[in-house]
Amino acid sequence: MDIVRAAFAPVPTPVGEDGGFEPSALSRHLRWIADGGVDGALVLGTNGEFPSFSLDERRRVAETAAAAGSNARLLLGVGSCAVVEAVKMARLAGRLGYEAVLCPPPFYYRGAPVGGIADFFRAVLDASPLPVLLYHIPQVTGVPISDELLDAIGDHGRLAGVKDSSGDPREMARLAARFSDGCYMVGSDRLVAAALEAGGAGSISAAASVVPKLVAAVNRGVDRQHELTAIRSLLEEFGLGPAVKCILRGWGFGSYRTRPPLLGLDEARERDLLRRFSEFNVEHPDRG
């Protein structure tokens, strides 16, 4: 999978006022970030709130992204605790023309034996028509992509690499070295420049959904990591997912509501975030 020095935006899944998926907003957003210089998008990742959507809804989101006409390279999150669902989504990604899939571990069974988790991943790898990135986000899943797990999975022709969203420089060093002949993608905006220096292939980071030009520039080696870190800090202060959705809603892309158990920002915090974000002089999107 040739995604060397590639920047991807893990796009949020827009939810309308009625609680349903808002396809037009996703299509507009994908076209805008592609025009903004990032290489592509991850659909139905953590920022896409994939566990909040049924299998049928996830299929529709995947299909909408593929038909958006954005010319963005697309990765599809296939996360599920049910291996049969992960396999179905991986096969769908192949039919729709996605470039690769991202698969987290089965996150409900945090005490599952390493051998069982390896069996889960091997089932996805065996069935997937596309390269597979494993998803390391232990602060959410409670199940790390450990060296023990990687040893248990073993070599596989479709194991392309890993997305590391731990935000931990030590984990970055471990996994970048482990996939030195594969694909290490960093998930933290704070570590984009450091990951490239460590031999990483690029980033799949939340700020790319709202500052695609900046993230693309850092991935090209432009010395603007300090700006990207400052924006990431602001987003984290308000909550990464709610903050990104608030900005996109403020820009008029769509409603970008959330589903329980997640909550958006209240009106006062939305105003505060939008005011402070505007101080970065980010170019306002022309949505067309």
Question: With 70 as the cut, is the pLDDT of residue 3 above it?
Answer: no
If we measure between CA atoms, which residue out of 170, 164, 176 comes closest to residue 205? 164
Q: Tell the CATH topology of 6-222.
A: TIM Barrel (3.20.20)
Beta bridge partners of 7: 203
Q: Name the residue with higher pLDDT: 8 or 286.
A: 8
Q: Do residues 78 and 53 lie in contact, with contact meaning Cβ atoms separated by under 8 Å?
A: no
The HSE-up count of residue 186 (CA atoms within 13 Å, CB side) is: 31
Tokens 């590391």, located at residue: 164
Beta bridge partners of 182: none
- Please state the three-class secondary structure of 166-186 as a single string: CCCHHHHHHHHHHCCCCEEEE
Mean per-residue pLDDT of the chain = 95
Give the type of residue at 91: R
Q: Report the pLDDT averaged over residues 39-52.
A: 97
Q: Which residues contact 223 (CB under 8 A, 6 or more apart)?
A: none
Tell me whether residue 141 is one of the annotated catalytic residues. Answer: no
Tell me whether residue 256 is one of the annotated catalytic residues. Answer: no
Between CA 240 and CA 249 the distance in angstroms is 14
At residue 157's C-alpha, the angle toward residues 152 and 163, to 5°, is 70
Q: Report the pLDDT averaged over residues 195-208.
A: 96
Q: Report the pLDDT averaged over residues 260-276.
A: 96
**What is the model's pLDDT at position 282?**
81
C-beta atoms surrounding 228 within 10 Å: 24
Question: With 70 as the cut, is the pLDDT of residue 4 above it?
Answer: no
Q: Report the pLDDT averaged over residues 15-24.
A: 96
**DSSP tag of 205:** -
Question: With 50 as the cut, is the pLDDT of residue 287 above it?
Answer: no
Q: Do residues 8 and 236 lie in contact, with contact meaning Cβ atoms separated by under 8 Å?
A: no
Question: With 60 as the cut, is the pLDDT of residue 163 above it?
Answer: yes
Query: What is the Cα 120 distance to its own chain's centre?
Result: 21
C-beta atoms surrounding 219 within 10 Å: 27
User: Of these residues, 64, 98, 163, 184, which one is catalytic?
Assistant: 163
Q: Report the pLDDT averaged over residues 48-58.
A: 97
pLDDT tens, position by position, 115-147: 999 999 999 999 999 999 999 999 999 999 999
Q: Which residues contact 285 (CB under 8 A, 6 or more apart)?
A: 32, 36, 251, 253
User: Of these residues, 98, 135, 184, 256, which one is catalytic?
Assistant: 135
Domain boundaries, the chain: 6-222
If we measure between CA atoms, which residue out of 4, 3, 8, 21 comes closest to residue 254? 21
**Residue 285 banded pLDDT, cuts 50, 70, 90:** confident
Tell me whether residue 13 is one of the annotated catalytic residues. Answer: no
Q: Report the pLDDT averaged over residues 92-108.
A: 97
User: Of these residues, 46, 64, 141, 258, which one is catalytic?
Assistant: 46
Tell me whether residue 135 is one of the annotated catalytic residues. Answer: yes
Between CA 249 and CA 24 the distance in angstroms is 13
Q: Report the pLDDT averaged over residues 35-50.
A: 96
